[in-house]
A = this chain, B = another copy of it.
Amino acid sequence: MNAHRQDGAGRRGSERQAARAAGASTAERLLPEAAKLFRERGYAASSTRELAERLNLNKASLYYHVESKEDLLYEICSKSLRDVIASAEAVIERETSPKARLEGLIRSHITAITADIDMHATMLLELRSLSPGRRHDVMQLRNFYEALVEHEISDAQHAGDLRSDCDARSLALLLFNLLNWTITWYRSDGDLDPNELIDMSLRIFLEGAGGPR
């Protein structure tokens, strides 16, 4: 029965609107829904067919909003990094000591990725699926952000707030290790809330897990 209507084909506009989250236009739902799909299946394994179904749209209608599937990935990656960089720059302006700036950066990183895990997970893991030119653009943003964090790590070392027997580059790599793998297991409905994760990450990174305490 109505097997040929699986795509929502033939629905009238009013019905489609009723099926949507209240008030969100197709244009507004496009990126979040794409990010969700790309995180669940991976970019390459995600079809425009399935994205359209989730939006209650016909496959073809997607192409009124975007020129290609890759556009979606590019916009997700760009937006993710623009948001992360904006948060980081706000922290750096606001905080006055190297230690407070570094702690603030760790907080804002975890806050950002847990608040929109689909978008940030897609950026971090699916970036490689972009064509060379666009991948390069996104990598420049990402390198800018990571250099910004590494710079604060270096400042904190010189202020005596971080150990100096590892170079700033290596500390930055291990810090991003500690922060980024979270995207592979974090669930907003899980039993670890973002603030707990922030507290623990700060303690483990700054004080370590050793000792009885």
* Chain A interface residues toward B at CB < 8 A: 41-45, 124-125, 128-129, 160-166, 170-171, 173-182, 184-185, 192, 196, 200-201, 203-213
Q: How far is the CA of A209 from the CA of B162 in the complex (A)?
A: 6
- From A162, which residue of chain B is reached at the shortest CB distance? B209
Q: Are B42 and A129 in contact (CB under 8 A)?
A: yes
Q: How far is the CA of A164 from the CA of B209 in the complex (A)?
A: 9
Q: Are B180 and A213 in contact (CB under 8 A)?
A: no
Given B164, B177, B208, B213, which contacts A164 in the complex, CB threshold below 8 Å? Answer: B213
Q: Are B210 and A192 in contact (CB under 8 A)?
A: no
Query: Provided the pairs A42-B129, A44-B45, A176-B181 are in contact, do residues A160 and B200 lie with their beta carbons within 8 angstroms?
Result: no
Query: Provided the pairs A177-B182, A180-B181, A181-B177 are in contact, do residues A212 and B163 lie with their beta carbons within 8 angstroms?
Result: yes
Q: Which residues of B contact A171 (CB under 8 A)?
A: 204, 209
Q: How far is the CA of A185 from the CA of B128 in the complex (A)?
A: 12
Chain B's nearest CB lies how many Å from the CB of A23? 33
Q: Which residues of B contact A213 (CB under 8 A)?
A: 163-165
Q: How far is the CA of A182 from the CA of B175 in the complex (A)?
A: 11
Q: Are B206 and A209 in contact (CB under 8 A)?
A: yes
- From A40, which residue of chain B is reached at the shortest CB distance? B128
Q: How far is the CA of A124 from the CA of B180 in the complex (A)?
A: 14
Q: Are B174 and A201 in contact (CB under 8 A)?
A: yes
User: Can you list 29 A-B pairs, Cβ within 8 angstroms, ordered by A?
Assistant: A41-B44, A41-B128, A42-B42, A44-B44, A44-B45, A45-B129, A125-B125, A161-B210, A161-B211, A162-B211, A163-B207, A163-B212, A163-B213, A165-B203, A166-B204, A170-B200, A171-B204, A173-B185, A174-B200, A174-B201, A174-B204, A175-B209, A177-B180, A177-B182, A178-B178, A180-B181, A205-B208, A205-B209, A208-B210
Q: Are B204 and A205 in contact (CB under 8 A)?
A: yes
Chain B's nearest CB lies how many Å from the CB of A209? 5
- From A186, which residue of chain B is reached at the shortest CB distance? B173
Q: Which residues of B contact A204 (CB under 8 A)?
A: 166, 171, 174, 205, 208
